[in-house]
């Protein structure tokens, strides 16, 4: 029957028509189980970034153990980032480095200043000692400078050269030395050190052991052995524990920074150029510590300086006292009127007037101890006590007052052109003038005159301008006032004026260069003339 279909044939056709993909999925589930599907869904839900982040640390660590590809790939980006941050935000770098650099700088400066002061103290303490002179002679005989010889005598140790050697191959990796050391064939030196160490190990049947130091002359080669490198230091002097500790710390830092380079060392020294600063830190030196002694020499020099200053001051004070005693002795001498005094070095010069009846100044000087001064006296004779013929009865005190005032006010002291110094002839008037003024002062007390004043007035001729005339006229008046006070008159009684030039056409020019003295007083009403 063509219109009727077989049911078996129809089911078989429908099954064949289903997608083959469903059968594959059912097969995967039967073989792998339901966990596989969940794993696939979890992976599909994660981003590529999350999957890389989960394994990046382990990948970098694994690659770093193989070669330096990761460091070389990251270095440009890190360097560029640091440069950009320094340019844009320099204060951040400063803030980060400040806690490290600040204390380091202060410590370095303090250490440098302390070392400088210690060296200065050593130089001062030894520069004047007998040992220093002996060292100079020995240095001259040895043909070296005094500084080098003193360094050899006072140096505790000094590291002249440092070699970094690969432990397994015995090849030189890096080196450094001081400027005073002439660098020899370091490759040959390194080979010899390795050969000596191998020879000693083989001879004494102690494999793996190494020589720690080799001494020759005044030098010692201190050898510090690490897991992959050896540090050899050429030391002049004694090797101290502090120096050995410094070498050990340096070698530890080198192993830490250059671990991969040392482990895979193939003879290429280029990666170890950055180890040069580390080796330079081992070039140390230290002077011998001497017991501190008191600087007796400095104390002695300072004491001598103080004593010298005290002696000089004492001598100056003694000389000034002697000078004052000499001047006082001349002033107190009866009938001596001191006109002028001057000093030139240790020479004292005096100009005075004396009565002819008084002893000469040479006799006065002979009786005085004038040391340390040399004294010269220029004396001029003048009648200081003129005798007057009594032709009238003794005048009363009031009459005597008026006579003395008239006598003083009529006195004229003349000066040369453009000068404020009295000539000897005019200076001879001073003694009589002083006597009259002293008598006036005594009569003022007797007559009960409580207020009287001596007015010294100076004048000038018309040869100068008004300003110059006023100045020289006052100087002339002041010179006369100084002579009066020098010879005993009270400074409180004297007033000085300088009036310059007055238009006095009826007076000769020489009569205008004068000094006059006026007496101003308040006379009591009970006077009897």
For the stretch 275-295, pLDDT in tens is: 888 888 888 877 655 556 667
**pLDDT value of position 12:** 44
Q: What pLDDT does residue 227 have?
A: 84
What is the rounded average pLDDT for all residues in the chain? 77
Determine the average pLDDT of the residues in 82-108.
69
**Percentage of the residues of the chain whose pLDDT score is greater than 70:** 69
Which of 135-149, 184-198, 410-424 is the least confident region?
A: 184-198
- Is 80 exceeded by the pLDDT of residue 464? yes
Considering only residues 397 and 492, tell me which one the structure prediction assigns the higher pLDDT. 492
When comparing pLDDT for 249 and 66, which is higher?
249
Residue 383 pLDDT exceeds 70: no
Burial class (CB in 10 A: 0-12, 13-18, 19+), 340: middle
By the 10 Å C-beta count (0-12 exposed, 13-18 middle, 19+ buried), 111 is classed as: exposed
CA dist., res. 386 & res. 433, Å (int): 13
Task: Please state, as a whole number, how many other Cβ atoms lie within 10 Å of the Cβ of residue 330.
Answer: 21
pLDDT at 472: 93
Judged by average pLDDT, the poorest of 149-153, 318-322, 424-428 is 149-153
The rounded distance, in Å, linking the Cα atoms of 427 and 414 is: 10
State mean pLDDT over 260-269: 87
Rounded CA separation 455/518 (Å)? 5
Between 113 and 136, the more confident residue is: 136
* More confident of the two residues 195 and 401: 401
């Amino acid at each position: 029957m063509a219109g009727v279909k077989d049911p078996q044939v129809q089911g078989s056709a429908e099954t064949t028509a289903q997608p083959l993909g469903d059968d594959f999925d059912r097969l995967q589930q039967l073989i792998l189980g339901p966990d596989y599907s969940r794993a696939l869904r979890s992976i599909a839900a994660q981003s590529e970034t999350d999957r890389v982040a989960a394994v990046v640390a382990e990948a970098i660590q694994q690659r770093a153990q193989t070669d330096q590809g990761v460091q070389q790939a990251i270095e440009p980006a890190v360097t560029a980032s640091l440069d950009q941050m320094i340019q844009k935000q320099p204060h951040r770098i400063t803030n980060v480095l400040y806690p490290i650099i600040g204390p380091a700088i202060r410590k370095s400066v303090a250490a440098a200043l302390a070392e400088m002061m210690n060296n200065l103290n050593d130089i001062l303490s030894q520069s004047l000692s007998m040992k220093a002179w002996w060292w100079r002679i020995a240095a001259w005989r040895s043909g070296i400078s005094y500084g080098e010889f003193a360094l050899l005598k006072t140096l505790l140790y000094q590291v002249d050269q440092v070699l970094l050697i690969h432990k397994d191959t015995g090849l030189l990796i890096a080196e450094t030395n001081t400027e005073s050391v002439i660098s020899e064939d370091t490759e040959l030196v390194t080979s010899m050190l390795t050969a000596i160490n191998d020879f000693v190990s083989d001879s004494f049947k102690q494999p793996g052991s190494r020589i720690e130091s080799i001494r020759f002359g005044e030098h010692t080669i201190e050898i510090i052995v690490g897991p992959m490198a050896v540090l050899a230091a050429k030391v002049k002097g004694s090797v101290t524990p502090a120096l050995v500790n410094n070498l050990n710390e340096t070698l530890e830092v080198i192993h830490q920074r250059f671990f991969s380079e040392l482990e895979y060392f193939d003879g290429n020294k280029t990666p170890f150029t950055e180890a040069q600063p580390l080796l330079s830190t081992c070039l140390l030196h230290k002077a011998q510590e001497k017991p501190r002694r008191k600087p007796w020499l400095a104390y002695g020099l300072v004491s001598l300086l103080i004593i010298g200053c005290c002696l000089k001051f004492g001598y100056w004070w003694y000389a000034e006292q002697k000078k004052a005693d000499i001047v006082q002795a001349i002033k107190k001498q009866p009938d001596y009127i001191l006109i002028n005094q001057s000093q030139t070095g240790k020479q004292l010069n005096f100009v005075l007037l004396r009565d002819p009846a008084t002893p000469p100044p040479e006799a006065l000087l002979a009786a005085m101890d004038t040391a340390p001064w040399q004294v010269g006296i220029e004396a001029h004779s003048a009648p200081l006590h003129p005798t007057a013929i009594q032709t009238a009865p003794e005048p009363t005190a009031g009459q005597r007052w008026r006579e003395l005032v008239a006598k003083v006010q009529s006195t004229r002291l003349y000066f040369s052109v453009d000068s404020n110094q009295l000539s000897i002839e005019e200076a001879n008037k001073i003694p009589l003038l002083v006597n009259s003024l002293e008598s006036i002062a005594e009569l003022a007390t007797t007559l009960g005159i409580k207020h009287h004043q001596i007015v010294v007035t100076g004048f000038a001729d018309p040869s100068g301008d008004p300003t110059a005339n006023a100045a020289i006229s006052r100087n002339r008046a002041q010179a006369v006032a100084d002579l009066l006070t020098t010879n005993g008159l009270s400074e409180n009684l004297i007033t000085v004026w300088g009036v310059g030039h007055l238009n006095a056409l009826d007076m000769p020019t020489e009569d205008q260069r004068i000094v006059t003295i006026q007496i101003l007083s308040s006379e009591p009403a009970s006077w009897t003339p």
